[in-house]
Homo-oligomer: A and B are copies of this chain.
Amino acid sequence: MPSVDRAGPPLVGGPEAGGGLPEPARRLPEPPRNRTGAPGLRKEELHGSVSDPVLDTMNFLNEVTHRYPDAVSFAPGRPYDGFFDTEDVFRHLRRYLDHLAAEGAGPEQVRSAIFQYGPTAGQIRELVADSLRKDEGIDVPPASVVVTVGCQEAMFLAVRALISGPDDVLLVSSPCYVGITGAARLLDVEVGAVEEGEKGFDCAALEAAILAERARGRRPRAFYVIPDHSNPSGTSMTLPARQELLDLAERHDILILEDSPYRMVSPGEQLPTLKSLDREHRVVHLGSYSKTLFPGTRVGFVVADQPVVDEAGNTGLLADELARIKSMLTVNTSPVSQAVTAGMLLSVDGRTSELNTRTAAYYGDAMRVTLRELDRRFPEDERGALGIGWNEPAGGFFLAVNVPFRADNAALERSAEEFGVIWTPMSYFYPQGGGESSLRLSVSYLSHEEIVDGVDRLARFVRAQTHRSG
């Protein structure tokens, strides 16, 4: 999933990086064969997740990007690293080890903390909980936190715990981040798409989906949503919509999986998280440090303070159950990675907002420049006739552009080849179809010059394609 969403490296490439996902299947000169002369494995015999069409679309996007290296790419949701100093990693690590010593750990205990496996639920849960309280007003006990290998593992844990049989359904806001549908795909979990309206989440659509699933004999267990500056559409939920969603979850006895990676890196005041408004333990909060600290630690977390009662009447927390699942998946999150993360949290006394003043301004500027250039290239009085429009997110990495033609792979290829500009077809993000005339632009990693140039190219492409289609 990395390339067109959170993880952008294959589209840019590190020093040793050969691309994020493997390249598309290729003809080997002499495929090794077994004694019977038959090839070893047939792809259709492997689990269906490896043939998920989303992966092929990502591959296609990677391939286009590799083929047109000079194109301006609005595809990758890659965080900007210009404010990061490589030496920071050493400093953060040192800070955490010093912190342990200051807290009374002897040299052998410090060594153990970095050398050994750690507790499955994580060894920096107190620091994570402290940061959530200061940054987000999310006040939960450290025992309700599980530290994960990025937010992706958090999603997997939540889906695995909540979906127990073939009648259970996961509902997702659509268009939808591919990470959650990917996790569901690995588990053969059925996903029900709840269409966003023009303004994002629509409570009536969710309620209708819940009732429709129930009518089919299915049990909707949870609803996944990015309330702030969503990936891919850039929409945010209003405060009343947040309240309405919480009430709905309570009324219909479902959980909400809240994913919110873009809040701290967006300019200005943010609305409260669903979790901070949650009085009934309806929200499982999925956390990422990939935008607020840095992606290279692969540290995320999940907050799951829901009480779970077993048959004997004993009560634990959903976090305990998620840790059990994690013990069978990755055992524990790297203590080295956790140490670097912890050192970074300690450097600002848990206030990641302080670390992100500059980055939030940077991304905010990029979004403003993009919107300004779109305005400039498509004057308001022409838009109706052209059939083009876009939303105006106040933050995050993404915006959605509606176009008067099919924004499909063929269009993307033409855009890259003839106009030197790459974007992501929004249809990639619709689990059950949709978004055919829309595309996603990511603004997180381009310079202002690249944005100006890129929107110019995009505008020329859109006009040419409209002309061609019309």
Give residues in A with beta carbon < 8 Å to B.
Answer: 1-2, 6-10, 12, 14-28, 31-35, 39-50, 52, 55, 78-79, 81, 84-86, 89-90, 93-94, 97, 100, 103-105, 107, 109-121, 123-124, 126, 143, 149-150, 152-153, 156, 160-164, 179, 182-183, 185-187, 250, 253, 280-282, 290, 294-299, 305-321, 323-325, 327-337, 340
A48 shortest CB reach to chain B, Å: 6
Give 16 A-B pairs besides A52-B324, A86-B107 with Cβ atoms closer than 8 angstroms: A1-B327, A8-B117, A9-B332, A14-B113, A20-B118, A20-B327, A21-B324, A22-B143, A22-B319, A34-B282, A41-B308, A46-B162, A78-B117, A79-B116, A115-B294, A153-B329
Chain B residue at minimum C-beta to C-beta distance from A112:
B14
Q: Would you call B47 and A160 a contact (CB within 8 A)?
A: yes
Q: Would you call A49 and B324 a contact (CB within 8 A)?
A: yes
Q: Give complex CA distance A16, B100 in Å.
A: 8
Q: Would you call B164 and A43 a contact (CB within 8 A)?
A: no
Given contacts A2-B327, A14-B112, A15-B110, contact A334 B28 (CB under 8 A): no
Q: Would you call B118 and A296 a contact (CB within 8 A)?
A: yes
Q: Would you call A50 and B9 a contact (CB within 8 A)?
A: no
Chain B residue at minimum C-beta to C-beta distance from A187:
B187
Chain B residue at minimum C-beta to C-beta distance from A142:
B18
A442 shortest CB reach to chain B, Å: 14
- How many copies of this kind of chain does the complex include? 2
A150 neighbours in B (Cβ, 8 Å): 330-331
A85 neighbours in B (Cβ, 8 Å): 111
**Which of B19, B100, B280, B318 sits near A119, CB closer than 8 Å?**
B19
A167 shortest CB reach to chain B, Å: 11
Q: Give complex CA distance A318, B299 in Å.
A: 27
Q: Would you call B296 and A114 a contact (CB within 8 A)?
A: yes
Given contacts A25-B316, A298-B333, A298-B334, contact A161 B117 (CB under 8 A): no
Q: Would you call A16 and B110 a contact (CB within 8 A)?
A: no
A464 shortest CB reach to chain B, Å: 32
A318 neighbours in B (Cβ, 8 Å): 40-41
Q: Would you call B43 and A311 a contact (CB within 8 A)?
A: yes
A306 neighbours in B (Cβ, 8 Å): 40-41
Q: Give complex CA distance A396, B330 in Å.
A: 22
Q: Would you call B126 and A16 a contact (CB within 8 A)?
A: yes
Q: Would you call A34 and B120 a contact (CB within 8 A)?
A: no
- 6 of the cross-chain contacts (CB-CB < 8 Å) are A16-B119, A26-B314, A39-B307, A50-B325, A52-B324, A90-B93
A319 neighbours in B (Cβ, 8 Å): 22
A253 neighbours in B (Cβ, 8 Å): 34
Q: Would you call B15 and A309 a contact (CB within 8 A)?
A: no
Q: Would you call B334 and A50 a contact (CB within 8 A)?
A: no
Q: Would you call A22 and B89 a contact (CB within 8 A)?
A: no
Q: Give complex CA distance A162, B79 in Å.
A: 34
A45 shortest CB reach to chain B, Å: 6
Q: Would you call A81 and B46 a contact (CB within 8 A)?
A: no
A250 neighbours in B (Cβ, 8 Å): 34-35
Q: Give complex CA distance A149, B337 in Å.
A: 12
Given contacts A7-B117, A20-B327, contact A112 B153 (CB under 8 A): no
Q: Would you call A123 and B17 a contact (CB within 8 A)?
A: yes
Given contacts A15-B100, A100-B16, contact A43 B119 (CB under 8 A): no
Q: Would you call A41 and B119 a contact (CB within 8 A)?
A: no
A6 neighbours in B (Cβ, 8 Å): 117, 331
Q: Which 7 A-B pairs have the closest CB atoms?
A: A182-B328, A7-B117, A22-B320, A25-B314, A15-B105, A25-B316, A298-B334
A103 neighbours in B (Cβ, 8 Å): 15
A330 neighbours in B (Cβ, 8 Å): 149-150, 152-153, 298, 330
Q: Give complex CA distance A25, B320 in Å.
A: 8
Q: Would you call A152 and B47 a contact (CB within 8 A)?
A: no
Q: Would you call A281 and B34 a contact (CB within 8 A)?
A: yes
A390 shortest CB reach to chain B, Å: 27
